[in-house]
Amino acid sequence: MLTPSQIDAAISQNWERQIEWLRTLTQFPSERGLEGPCQDWIAGSFRERGWNVDRYMLSDVAMSTLPGYSPVTDTDYEKAVQVVAAIRAPKPVGRSLILQGHVDVVPTGPLEMWSHAPYGGEIVDGKLYGRGTCDMKSGVAAMVFALDALRTAGYLPGSDVYVQTVTEEESTGNGALSTLARGYRANACLIPEPTGLRIGRGQIGVMWFRLSVKGIPAHVVDSDQGTNAILSTYRLIEALQAFTLELNDRVKSHPWYSKLSSPINFNPGKIRGGDWASSTPAWCELDCRIAVLPGTPLDVFRQEIIDVVMKAAAADPFLAANPPEVIWNGFQADDYILEPGGEFETAVRAAHLATTGQDAEDWLITGVTDSRFYGRYYDIPSLCYGARGLRAHGFDEYVELESVRQTTRVIADFIQRWCGLRAI
């Protein structure tokens, strides 16, 4: 087994190249539907390493009937490139592993609100700035260069390793699901999301939905003869906010999420409506995100949302006769917890301890990651472990480069503990 100093020396030898690789990765504006060039660059980088690469589109994979699939209404899966690289061991000596990261990023928002160009890859005071640097291109770089470090030290993994870069993590998770539908399996899955060097053992469920609300157009001077679909939508928002308070009271009995304050969040994230400033709007659409109460089946929770919306609509004379439509158009994600004590987590914790000299802390996310697919649906233990950064999804997102180095060390050490090593 390689010592921590040997692993560190190998990482140091590749460190400048790793930073430049991450900077290049950051400079791809890989927002939803635009990930293709980024994924093609990654596929080429993997081929240069001699890895066998499977590049395919989400449209190539039948998965709509699989557990965990989320419906899609507004993106073209014929352009959604996925990449899986296989590093196979002819005579496995350890256990197999999936290393997975996502390359899709959320929109930047107004560019003038950024102090550093969102796709510039600028480094200031040991921090790399840019959309996706923290969430989670830094993790992709760490898992790739952890394998590079082992090779620099003269070794390959002793068992099969699949290196996966997927899309749709920020909207459905269907990219991760596609790899499973395509047949990729292993004894464990490590996802280097930015956990701040903590063990990400759990995630809450998440649900996206759209409220489609009608109104009656009228000139503003005769607005009492019409109805305002936008204002009607706000009444529904207030009902869902009250529902969220109720859910946070109910979650207090959960063995894990009761430890957090208000883990159930509701977000009215995108609104559009109306056709003319001097007419009462005849339509409004609101895209929403809400956390799913842990332990609640998705179909049960969907019905609870419908009930809340329809009860609020019933109090409005127009909506009572013209009820809003609830459209499920993205995440339909179950919660997931990796219970303590398994060999997989033990190996990750041992690698963290060897690297940092400290026991790893737990991390529960009130959002969603791809780990649910492996651990909940396919009986592949999965957890997240990654770098430290701030402002994911916000302006001036950044990752601390020293934490990327530490993450790379931990992943490399974990690979040798989990997969074993074979000399080149």
Q: Express each pLDDT in 149-191 by its tens digit.
A: 999 999 999 999 999 999 999 999 999 999 999 999 999 999 9
Q: What is the mean pLDDT of the segment spanning 42-59? A: 98
Distance CA(184)–CA(169), nearest Å, equals: 18
Number of CB atoms found within 10 A of residue 53's CB? 16
Residue 228 contacts residue 203 (beta carbons within 8 Å): no
**CATH code, domain carrying 153:** 3.40.630.10
> In whole angstroms, how far apart are CA 273 and each of 71, 210, 238, 276, 402?
23, 13, 18, 9, 46
Domain co-membership, 368 together with 327? no
CA distances from 228 to 160, 239, 282 (A): 59, 17, 7
> Tens digits of per-residue pLDDT, 121-140?
999 999 999 999 999 999 99
Q: Which helix (H) or strand (E) holds 373?
A: none
Q: What is the pLDDT of residue 223?
A: 82
When pLDDT is cut at 50, 70 and 90, the band that residue 110 belongs to is: very high
Residue-level pLDDT at 195: 98
> What's the pLDDT score for residue 182?
97
Of 306, 333, 360, the position where a domain reaches its end is 333
Please check whether residue 201 is in contact with residue 363, taking contact to mean a CB–CB distance below 8 angstroms.
yes
392-409 pLDDT, tens per residue?
Answer: 999 999 999 999 999 999
Q: What is the pLDDT of residues 64-94, one digit of tens each?
A: 999 999 999 889 999 999 999 999 999 999 9
Q: Which tokens in the block code for residue 360?
A: 């790893």
Taking only the tens place, the pLDDT of each residue in 287-328 is 999 999 999 999 999 999 999 999 999 998 899 999 999 999
pLDDT in tens, 322-378: 999 999 999 999 999 999 999 999 999 999 999 999 999 999 999 999 999 999 999
State how many domains the chain has: 2
Residues 64 and 141 in one domain: yes
**Among 188, 204, 197, residue whose Cα is nearest residue 383:** 188
> How many degrees, rounded to 5, is the angle at CA 331 between CA 327 and CA 337?
140
108, 245: one domain: no
Same domain, 146 and 46: yes
C-beta separation of 11 from 149 below 8 A:
yes
Backbone angles phi, psi at 231, to 5 degrees: -65, -35
Q: What is the reported pLDDT for 272?
A: 97
What is the C-alpha to C-alpha distance for residues 420 and 424, in angstroms, rounded to an integer? 13
Identify the pLDDT of residue 224: 84
- Interval 244-261: pLDDT, tens: 999 999 999 999 999 999
Eight-state DSSP code of residue 105: B
Residues 238 and 282 in one domain: yes
316 and 378 both lie in a single domain: no
The residue from 287, 306, 333 where one domain ends is 333
Residues 127 and 233 in one domain: no
Residue span of the structural domain in which 224 resides: 205-333
Q: Which of 328, 330, 348, 332 is nearest to 340 (CA)?
A: 348
User: What span, in angstroms and rounded, lies between the C-alpha atoms of 83 and 165?
Assistant: 5
Residue that has been written with the tokens 């600028």 in this structure: 122
Band the pLDDT of 222: cuts 50, 70, 90: confident
pLDDT of residue 14: 98
Q: Is 197 left (phi over 0), alpha (psi -120 to 50) or beta?
A: left
Judgement on whether residues 231 and 90 belong to the same structural domain of the protein:
no
DSSP 3-state of 165: strand
Within this chain, do residues 326 and 341 fall inside the same structural domain, yes or no?
no
Same domain, 304 and 169: no
- Quickly tell me which residue has 């019905």 as its tokens: 303
Cβ distance 63 to 177 under 8 Å? Answer: yes
pLDDT band at residue 277, thresholds of 50, 70 and 90? very high
Domain stop point among 318, 333, 348: 333
Number of H helices, E strands in the chain: 10, 20
